[in-house]
Structure 1
Amino acid sequence: MATRTRSQSAYSISLFDKQNLLKEPSREVCSFDNADIVALRASGAFPAGTVFRPFDREVRSDFCSDEWVCFFAYPFSIGLRYPFSPFIFRFFELTGLSFAQTMPMVWHVLATLEQIKARHMPDLCIEDLPMVYRLRSHGSSRFLLFSISKNPLILKATKNEDKWTRIFFFVKRDSFDRGSDLPKRWITSGRT
């Protein structure tokens, strides 16, 4: 195996493809620094051995790579852990969305539905979601769930967190379960 040159190191920005999907990239500079990565690692949100890319202000959340996958911190702030449940993974398999283009309200809805499934409705399937929600783009190829019912399943699930677009990190795909299978590029039109 050939050794990498300095410009081709494992952390090189040249390993990323810039999708240029962000409307205002200068307002979305990452604020999740190395201290935050250490805290996330210690939290147990990812399995031991997961490799996190060091903080880099130059890398944007819409950058894609064969070696790295972007995560926002939001799902972990509401108690989710990786690997996500089969219920949550099924949502991403069906929609084709990347974790990084999924807005906080979607994570809130998925986490709440997962709890409802576990406690009250074991037969609930993610395929039932289109009966009450539709995917909708919210600019910069990011998606939320739009309620099509006058009585949504989950109330107050429309508010997104402030500055969530700045709190992201990258994980080496081959260092955690299913990392190689996750989408590499953002989609620009969601599948319901």
Structure 2
Amino acid sequence: MGINVISISSLLLFLLIGIFVVDTDLAMQKKAEVKMLLELANHHATFAVDQVMKTEGVIELVEEEALTRFGDRMLENGGYRLERNNFVPAVTSVTTDPLPFVRYYVDFRSWRQDIDMRVRYDGRTLVLEQAVPGAVRADGGRLRIRVITERGEELELAPKTMVGPSHVVVAYVDERPFLPILPAHSFPVVSVEEVKH
């Protein structure tokens, strides 16, 4: 009897460990897929260039068109429908809960400056709290992005170096676990794309 209890306990322990490993793998796959979706959508968005200014040698993004292009590509590639500052997933989307996002445009006058961005997630929405310009660098400014979670945790993303006017999109995945004993999948994702010439 004692041996059966030990073997059942061991089996349950290995099952629990296996569930955690599968869940972690699932979270990493979601992060990679959301990153790819953002990159593809942002690439498409950065073709929204003001053609009149371009003839004068100035590359400037038309932000309203960029957001439309971004939303179109998120719908085509991932089934996400744009609603205010959230992408609402379809049944076939990689995530199950709304994907809040913020965007920031670094124009042709500012891309050589460092920019320190702070974004706050309150459990439902993502808000750009500040974008503070810093030192000027000849080869392009460094973009530092920090995300403050609803629990006050500060997540700092890897810095990016801009090589021209850039469209920055930060999204935050926060979705319920598929089993109550597991943690939620919560993580920020960023895409920085140079405006196309």
What range describes the TM-score normalised by the shorter chain of this pair? under 0.3
Higher relative contact order (CA 8 A, sep 6+): 1
Q: With structure 1 as the length reference, what TM-score do the two structures score?
A: 0.25
> Which of these two proteins has the greater Rg computed from alpha carbons?
2
Q: With structure 2 as the length reference, what TM-score do the two structures score?
A: 0.25
